[in-house]
């Protein structure tokens, strides 16, 4: 067993950027983490996030798509999740995935959505790639689970293998969960996902954001 696989910090996230948000349906009120503000090119506290500001930053070719997703979330009480591009305040283009889940009030009503922007603009550097090539082949069982989990993320989010690995690595590090255990749990819970459903993306978002809570518990606990 490799020490790298036991310790999430053994694979540094490097250039991976992620920032959290909350969107409250009543009043269309946004909350951005400091990381998300910086991702958009602002120092924390210098700008108030609004729907108008968010849409203004979207790439012109993706703006309508994001607007439609927000409208759908507002009208049907869903979560805002997407893959799209935005332009930060300095003019740089970012390719991001938005992973989100619903916010419920005490009565079980959906009152908003919260989650993360994950910036996949950069890919794993060459040194990191070499380190992975050296370590992962020795972890046969772990490699199988990681590769299967990567395949799911590649299919659902339409990303490449490096980006899928970075998503798994980010969740591993953020939740302080062993990478192989996180991947194995995710794969074990795929039978709880309705593959023929229209909300496959939302289901996988929920799974990816919460699977660490069930590592060591078993599958089927949603």
Could you tell me the mean pLDDT of each successive run of 10 residues in the chain, 222 residues long?
42 66 94 96 96 96 93 86 93 93 92 93 56 54 83 91 88 90 92 76 89 74 44
Q: Is residue 65 part of a domain?
A: yes
pLDDT at position 163 = 86
Torsion of CA 45, 49, 54, 56, to 10 degrees: -80
Q: 115 and 132 share a domain?
A: no
Q: 112 and 30 share a domain?
A: yes
pLDDT at position 183 = 93
Q: Is residue 3 part of a domain?
A: no
pLDDT at position 9 = 41
pLDDT at position 198 = 61
Tokens of 57: 């930053």
Q: Is 62 exposed, middle or buried (0-12, 13-18, 19+ CB in 10 A)?
A: middle
Q: 113 and 131 share a domain?
A: no
pLDDT at position 202 = 86
Q: 114 and 130 share a domain?
A: no
Q: 73 and 95 share a domain?
A: yes
Tokens of 25: 């349906």
In contact, 57 and 88? CB cutoff 8 Å: yes
Range of 86's domain? Answer: 17-119
Q: Is residue 107 part of a domain?
A: yes
Distances, alpha carbon 212 to alpha carbons 23, 43, 87, 178, in Å:
23, 31, 32, 9
Q: 114 and 138 share a domain?
A: no
Q: Is residue 137 part of a domain?
A: yes
SS (H, E, C) the chain: CCHHHHCHHHCCCCCCEEEEEEEECHHHEEEECHHHHHHCCCCCCCCCCCHHHHHHHECCCCHHHHHHHHHHHHHHCCCCCEEEEEECCCCCEEEEEEEEEEEECCCCCEEEEEEEEEECCCCCCHHHHHHHHHHHHHCHHHHHHHHHHHHHHHHHHCCCHHHHHHHHHHHHHHCCCCHHHHHHHHHHCHHHCCCCCCCHHHHHHHHHHHHHHHCCCCCCCC
Q: Which residue has the tokens 């046969």?
A: 140
pLDDT at position 104 = 93
pLDDT at position 150 = 93
């Amino acid at each position: 067993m490799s020490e790298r696989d036991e310790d999430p910090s053994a694979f540094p996230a490097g250039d991976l950027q992620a920032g959290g948000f909350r969107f409250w349906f009543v009043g269309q009120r946004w909350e951005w983490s400091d990381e998300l503000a910086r991702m958009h090119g602002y120092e924390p506290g210098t700008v108030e996030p609004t729907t108008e500001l968010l849409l203004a930053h979207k790439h012109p070719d993706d703006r309508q798509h994001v607007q439609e997703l927000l409208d759908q979330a507002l009208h049907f009480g869903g979560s805002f999740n997407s893959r799209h591009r935005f332009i930060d305040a300095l003019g740089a283009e970012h390719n991001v995935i938005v992973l989100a889940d619903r916010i419920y009030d005490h009565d079980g009503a959906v009152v908003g959505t919260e989650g993360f922007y994950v910036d996949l603009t950069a890919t794993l550097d060459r040194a990191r790639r070499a380190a992975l090539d050296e370590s992962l082949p020795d972890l046969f069982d772990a490699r199988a689970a990681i590769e299967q989990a990567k395949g799911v993320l590649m299919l659902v989010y339409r990303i490449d293998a490096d980006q899928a690995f970075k998503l798994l690595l980010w969740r591993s590090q953020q939740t302080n969960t062993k990478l192989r255990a996180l991947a194995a749990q995710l794969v074990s819970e795929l039978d709880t996902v309705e593959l023929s459903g229209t909300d496959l993306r939302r289901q996988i978002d929920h799974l990816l954001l919460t699977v660490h809570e069930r590592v060591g518990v078993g599958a089927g606990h949603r």
